[in-house]
């Protein structure tokens, strides 16, 4: 396998027994390896859980990453706040004729 800078992988964890069910966590993992350096960055995020009942029926339940949505909302609010501030102060700082 060639050395890649960015690798994406989906993995299923070991099952956890809950009552009469087996629950399997599913996660995406992103790895960034820096060329010429030992190490890199690994980011794991949950995407779903698979629930298996005693008869072997499986159901996939997606996991919503609320923290990621809040981070995106905060960054977007900051971006629009900067643009709005720039527009307001740009107009008020022009010299009067």
* pLDDT interval class at 1 (50, 70, 90): very low
- Mean pLDDT, range 65-80, rounded to an integer: 93
C-alpha–C-alpha distance, residues 49 and 62, integer Å? 6
Q: Assess contact for 23 and 35: CB atoms under 8 A.
A: no
* Full domain range(s) for residue 95: 64-97
pLDDT band per the 50, 70, 90 thresholds, residue 12: very high
At residue 74 the predicted structure's pLDDT band, cuts being 50, 70 and 90, is very high
Q: Do 39 and 78 fall within a single domain?
A: no
Q: In this predicted model, what pLDDT tens digit does every residue of 19-68 receive, in sequence order?
A: 899 999 999 999 998 878 788 888 888 899 999 999 999 999 999 888 88
Instruction: Tell whether 45 and 5 lie within a shared domain.
Output: yes
**CA distances, 42 to each of 3, 30, 31, 86 (Å):** 15, 6, 4, 36
Q: Does 57 lie in the same domain as 18?
A: yes
Residues 59 and 76 in one domain: no
Find the mean pLDDT for residues 4-20: 91
User: Is the predicted pLDDT of residue 2 greater than 60, yes or no?
Assistant: no
Asked whether residue 51 falls in the same domain as residue 25, the answer is yes
Its pTM stands at 0.61
Query: In this model, does residue 97 exceed pLDDT 90?
Result: no
Question: Do 58 and 51 touch, CB atoms closer than 8 A?
Answer: yes
């Amino acid at each position: 396998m060639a050395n890649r800078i960015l690798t994406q992988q989906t993995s299923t964890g070991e099952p956890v027994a809950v009552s009469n069910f087996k629950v399997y966590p599913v996660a995406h993992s992103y790895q960034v390896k820096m060329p010429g350096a030992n190490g890199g960055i690994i980011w794991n995020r949950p995407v779903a859980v698979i629930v298996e009942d005693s008869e072997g029926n499986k159901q996939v339940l997606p996991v919503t990453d609320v923290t990621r949505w809040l981070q995106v909302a905060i960054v977007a609010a900051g971006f629009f706040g900067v643009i709005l501030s720039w527009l307001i102060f740009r107009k008020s700082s022009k010299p009067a004729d």
